[in-house]
Structure 1
Amino acid sequence: MSERSAEASASTELDVFLSGPLFLDIVFSGLPTAPRPGTEVWASGMGSLPGGIANLAVATSRLGLSTGLATGFGDDVYGRWCWDILADEAIDLSHSARFESQHTSVTVSMAYDGDRAMVTHGHDLPLSYDELITEPPDARAVIIDLDDERARERWWRQAGANGAKIFADVGWDPSETWDAGRLDALEDCYAFLPNAGEAMAYTRADSPRAAARALAERVPLVVVTMGDDGAVAIDSGSGEECHVPALSVEAIDPTGAGDVFLAAFARGTLAEWPLEQRLRFASLCSGLAVQEFGGSLAAPGIGDLHDWWQQLDAAHGEGDPDATALREHYRFLPDVLPARPGRVTRRADATFALESDL
């Protein structure tokens, strides 16, 4: 049995509609080494927060996009807490449901050596996302993971037929066969944003740029993310190619950085910014995210972006040559950010704040 949200669906068109599994993420950051049997490792940072599809939903909402989410919540205390957090982030949960006698899936993420390892326990939803969503709401964009069964779902294709731009990504192939047939769904997509490893594996290309060019033959817009080497994008309609470097930051936790990049790129695309500006904005947002603990609650909001620009502008005024160069690349930022955001969102502490949260 499931319980639908009592909230009424938004009467206006959403900017972004999402679906996917929800997890409670428990994130340990700053581990000196990987944990080993028979030993104890202390972490310098820790957070508890909604994860999975919540990473993407929070990122899009904090960047000013009206966001709807279809997911399933357990009826345990973790599920209720995640529901309240996402509702407080102004995410429309009218297509989500609480499922009786189902506990919330949990992922423990351990960040060390610039990467992370994860352990997860959970259960699949008792119904498909097509059954959960039935009719997708009007939306300007949909972001979908093309892994396995998700690629065969009907709802996102219907949303695309209704006018939504479909932004797609794809995860690691556990079989490591990298069958290019898994990308056949790209014919129904507007943009594809894999990472370099995925893009090169699926295309058998020897470089991220070559992989992007091969993928551009299948989808109108391709972005291949390359970690510390930035990202490369190709607009197959105009023929434009663009590469931007990653923002140079001290990364604390990479959890959710890819989701933040995707959310920021979608925001710039919906606003019809030039391709380079979209890439730089996405690089900035993901760079800000990795400087905080946790995934979803590390996503930057409009307030964080204003703060960053003011700090950069101040450093430029003090004659910092690095700040001056960076400021030139981001001189578009004050013009595209809301001057006085109605909802000044900033990153939150990623943990249970009160005993009553549990």
Structure 2
Amino acid sequence: MTERELEILALLKQDPLIAQQSLADQLGISRSAVAGHIMNLTNKGVIRGKGYILAESRYAVVIGGANMDILGRPLNSLQVGDSNPGSVSCSPGGVGRNIAENLARLGSETRLISAIGKDTYGQMIVSQCQQAGIDMKGCLQLNDANTSTYLSVLDGDSDMHVAINDMAILERLSVEVLKEKEELLRRADLIILDANLSAESLEYLLNNFSDRPIFVDTVSCVKAKKIKPFLSSVHTLKPNLKEAEQLSGIIIEDYSELPGLANWFHNQGVKRIFLSLGSDGVFYSDEGAQALIPAIPIAMVNANGAGDAFLAGLAHGWIQEWSIEQSTKFAMAAAVVALSHIATINPNMSEISVNRIIKESTC
């Protein structure tokens, strides 16, 4: 779906009886343009019948952090311990939220469960998520807590130099709160977790919903430790090499040893693993295939968010029932789309833009 179709679909979910003129007024376009988009959605089978009855579709539930990202970018090389001329920007972020927005922009039905404050940052996050087509009804909105913030500073090569996160609010996404979402989770075709969740919440979700495919983003070496006791419940795991080495206790000296590392995870019950090797690409493995796919060359603008786009690409491929190879190549191209924009989420993220990257990289 196009970005405009996603915006219309999000409004229809909130009010299936909304008038076309009201849609036009909210989106700042003509009524005839709205009618054209609705006809396209009908032809695609997304809308069925009068009253904008929406077709039942497979959906993913993403559970994790939702932050406001504050990004500092130096004009030249970063001078540590000094004031650096540059730019500062704000955009909604958070691993879980980023995955959800990328997945929605790719065209997959997406629900987000997170915790945010009823403050300025929280309202900005809700607004952008809804515009991207994310169902936000499962989010916990609190009057007595501040929305998470993630402050990062890039170096002169546009890679992260240092970051500080304030994510205390996510502790409020407790087991008791998650139990209230059980019906939503039971009906999901896919559950995606980020390791920012508390150990208790991860334990509850991985122990009680392992009959659903569960994808896990390890986030960092420190946070990855929380999922080690529950690897048997993980369908798809996306660590970088350091995180995989820490979880397994296996140190890789040469990439020829990657199959053995992947097999350790399979022996723990993980069905699919995708090892991020940075500029060297991605090694994927399931119980039937293993391969290292080289990275797609890219002039990086901002390293933040590439891993989130990659996991969203994998999730989209799973929902579309693609092979592991096709899903990996699609996910790597989605990461390239993310890397090419200063914001954490590239507003041009779509299945069309990702496939364009794939086509250009194979020419």
TM-score by length of 1: 0.75
Letter in 1 for 2:312: A
Letter in 2 for 1:68: R
**Cα displacement string for residues 200-255 of structure 1 (whole angstroms, at most 9, x for unaligned residues):** 2222231461422322222111111111111111112x2x1121111100111111
Alignment: residue pair count: 300
SS of equivalent residue, structure 1 residue 214: helix
8 A contact 2:102–2:309 mirrored in 1: yes
Change (3 A) 1:129 1:33: farther
SS of equivalent residue, structure 1 residue 167: strand
Cα distance in 1, alignment partners of residues 58 and 98 from structure 2: 18
More helix by share: 2
Report the counterpart of residue 285 of structure 2 in structure 1.
Answer: 234
**Cα displacement string for residues 52-84 of structure 1 (whole angstroms, at most 9, x for unaligned residues):** 122111111111111000112211111111111
Cα distance in 2, alignment partners of residues 122 and 248 from structure 1: 33
Cα distance in 2, alignment partners of residues 205 and 151 from structure 1: 29
Cα distance in 2, alignment partners of residues 105 and 182 from structure 1: 22
Report the counterpart of residue 122 of structure 2 in structure 1.
Answer: 79
1:148-167 → structure 2 map (5 Å cutoff)? 149=199, 152-155=202-205, 157-161=207-211, 164-167=212-215
Cα distance in 2, alignment partners of residues 298 and 223 from structure 1: 25
Change (3 A) 1:14 1:158: farther
Aligned CA-pair RMSD:
2.9
Change (3 A) 1:100 1:146: closer
Unpaired runs of 5+ in structure 1?
1-5, 313-322, 328-358
Report the counterpart of residue 112 of structure 2 in structure 1.
Answer: 69
TM-score by length of 2: 0.74
SS of equivalent residue, structure 2 residue 303: coil
Unpaired runs of 5+ in structure 2?
1-12, 16-53
1:311-322 → structure 2 map (5 Å cutoff)? 312=360
My pick for the range that moved more, 131-140 or 283-292, is: 131-140
Change (3 A) 1:144 1:104: same
8 A contact 1:14–1:68 mirrored in 2: no
Letter in 2 for 1:115: D
Matched, 1:17 2:66: no
Cα distance in 1, alignment partners of residues 167 and 271 from structure 2: 36
Report the counterpart of residue 334 of structure 1 in structure 2.
Answer: none
Cα distance in 1, alignment partners of residues 202 and 130 from structure 2: 29
Q: 1:51 aligns with which of 65, 74, 93?
A: 93
SS of equivalent residue, structure 2 residue 267: coil
Identity %: 21
SS of equivalent residue, structure 1 residue 106: strand
Bigger relative CO (Cα 8 Å, ≥ 6 apart) = 1
8 A contact 1:13–1:139 mirrored in 2: no
Matched, 1:140 2:184: no
Cα distance in 2, alignment partners of residues 151 and 211 from structure 1: 27
Report the counterpart of residue 284 of structure 1 in structure 2.
Answer: 333
Letter in 1 for 2:150: T
Q: 2:217 aligns with which of 169, 172, 175?
A: 169
